[in-house]
Amino acid sequence: MNLNGILTLAVVVPFVGAFILPVIGRWSERLRNGLSLIFVLVSLVAAVALIPTVTAGRTLLVQWAGFNLFYADTLAVFMAFVSSLVGAIIVLYSFGYIRHYSWRNEYYFMVVLFLGSMMGIVFSRNLLILYLFWEITAIACWRLIGFFREKSYVLKADKAFLVTVFGALVMLLGFITIYHQTGSFDLGQIQETLQGQPISNLAVTLILFGILSKSATVPLHTWLPDAGVAPSPVTALLHAAVLVKIGVYVYARLFLASWTIEPVWHTIIPAIAAVSALVAAGAALLETDLKRLIAYSTISQIGFIFLGLAIGNEIGIAGGLLYILMHGIAKGGLFLCAGIIEQNTHTKDITKMGGLIATMPVTAVSFLLCAFSVMGIPPFGGFFSKYMVMTGAVTSGQIAIALTFLVGAFLTIIYLFRVFTLVFFGESKLAVRPLPAEGSPVMVFSVALLGALSILSGLFINFPSHFVQSAVQQIIWVQSAVNQILGFIP
SS3 126: strand
The reported pLDDT for the residue numbered 240 is 64
Strand partners, 63: 68
Which residues neighbour 272 within 8 Å (Cβ) at sequence distance 6 or greater?
212, 217, 218, 306
Give dist(CA 297, CA 301) in Å, integer.
6
State the pLDDT at residue 218.
83
Which amino acid would we find at residue 386? K
Helix (H, G, I), strand (E, B) or coil at 453: helix
Closest among 119, 215, 212 to 174, alpha carbons compared: 212
H or E element at residue 70 = strand 67-72
What is the per-residue pLDDT for 258?
84
**pLDDT value, residue 272:** 92
β-strand partners of 62: 70
pLDDT tens, per residue, the chain with 490 residues: 688 999 999 999 999 999 999 999 999 999 999 999 999 999 999 999 999 999 988 999 998 877 889 999 999 999 999 999 999 999 999 999 998 888 899 999 999 999 999 999 999 999 999 999 999 999 999 999 988 888 888 999 999 999 999 999 999 999 999 999 899 999 989 988 887 788 899 999 999 999 999 888 888 888 888 888 888 888 888 766 567 788 899 999 999 888 888 889 988 999 999 999 999 999 999 999 999 999 999 999 999 999 999 987 888 999 999 999 999 999 999 999 999 999 888 889 999 998 899 889 999 999 999 999 999 999 999 999 999 999 999 988 889 999 999 999 999 999 999 999 999 998 878 776 677 778 789 999 999 999 999 999 999 988 888 888 888 887 775 444 444 444 443 3
CB 374 within 8 A of CB 304: no
Amino acid, single-letter form, for residue 297: S
What pLDDT is stored for residue 21 in this prediction? 95
Predicted pLDDT of residue 178: 94
∠ CA 257-300-147, rounded to 5°: 95
Q: What is the pTM of this model?
A: 0.92
Nearest to 408 by CA among 434, 374, 385: 374
List all residues 6 or more positions away from 114 whose beta carbon is below 8 Å from its beta carbon. 137, 140, 141, 144, 237, 242
